[in-house]
Amino acid sequence: MPPRRALDVSTLCAAVVAECACEGLRRAARAISRLYGAALAGLGLTSTQLAILVATRLRGSLPLSRLADGLRLDRTSLYRAIRPLERKGYLQIGAGRTQRERVATVTTKGEQVLRAALPIWQDTQQQFVDALGPRTWGALSAALPQVVAIAQALEARPATRARRSRRPASGLREYRRNPFGIGPHLS
């Protein structure tokens, strides 16, 4: 087995800052979360809590496990965000179909806070889109579901397969051929 080359830590650290998809998207997510969070602060809501209320309102009574999956939140983060919503009376958490299942429902008070929050969201969203530019926003908005799908597909791969190739482009080519890793790709 050939000896491994010594890593140039400084070069790789610079690459993480400049090129890392995870770091770049997390940095962008933190910045946009602060923007929307500041706008919603007067209502005592975070952007995550607004997303929870919106998702629950759109889908009616929703099991917490499905809510967590749909919002791509781990269950601990979901429960931490839900507790204040339940305490304020915006969500009601009740029993589900099984003993372990818990279901969230938006209350009348939750509907009222949504009526107050959604115009704030609209204004913040419009300011952001105007500042970014509608074309850039359209391209970014269209790419976000693909980012989620690719991350989920790569995460679902066995660890040994994910580490096999050192060239990220090959993994992306494989994803494009078979995005969900199911059966042979048919062209």
pLDDT at 152: 87
CA distance 103 to 126: 33
User: Residue 14 pLDDT > 70, yes or no?
Assistant: yes
Average pLDDT over the chain reads 83
CA distance 27 to 119: 26
More confident residue, 78 or 178: 78
CA distance 24 to 29: 9
| Average pLDDT of span 75-85 | 93
CA–centroid distance for 3 within its chain: 40
CA distance 83 to 93: 9
CA–centroid distance for 20 within its chain: 17
Closest CA to 104 of 76, 118, 83: 83
pLDDT at 1: 54
Structural domains in the chain, CATH included, are 22-132 (1.10.10.10), 134-179 (no CATH)
For 131-181, how does the pLDDT look when each residue is reduced to its tens digit (9 = 90+)? 999 999 999 999 999 998 898 899 888 765 445 444 444 444 444 443 333
Categorize the per-residue pLDDT at 185 as very low, low, confident or very high, splitting at 50, 70 and 90: very low
User: Residue 187 pLDDT > 60, yes or no?
Assistant: no
User: Residue 116 pLDDT > 60, yes or no?
Assistant: yes
For 33-64, how does the pLDDT look when each residue is reduced to its tens digit (9 = 90+)? 999 999 999 999 999 999 999 999 998 888 99
pLDDT at 3: 58
pLDDT at 95: 85
pLDDT at 13: 85
More confident residue, 7 or 182: 7
CA distances from 46 to 3, 38, 159 (A): 50, 8, 35
| Average pLDDT of span 7-13 | 83
pLDDT at 160: 52
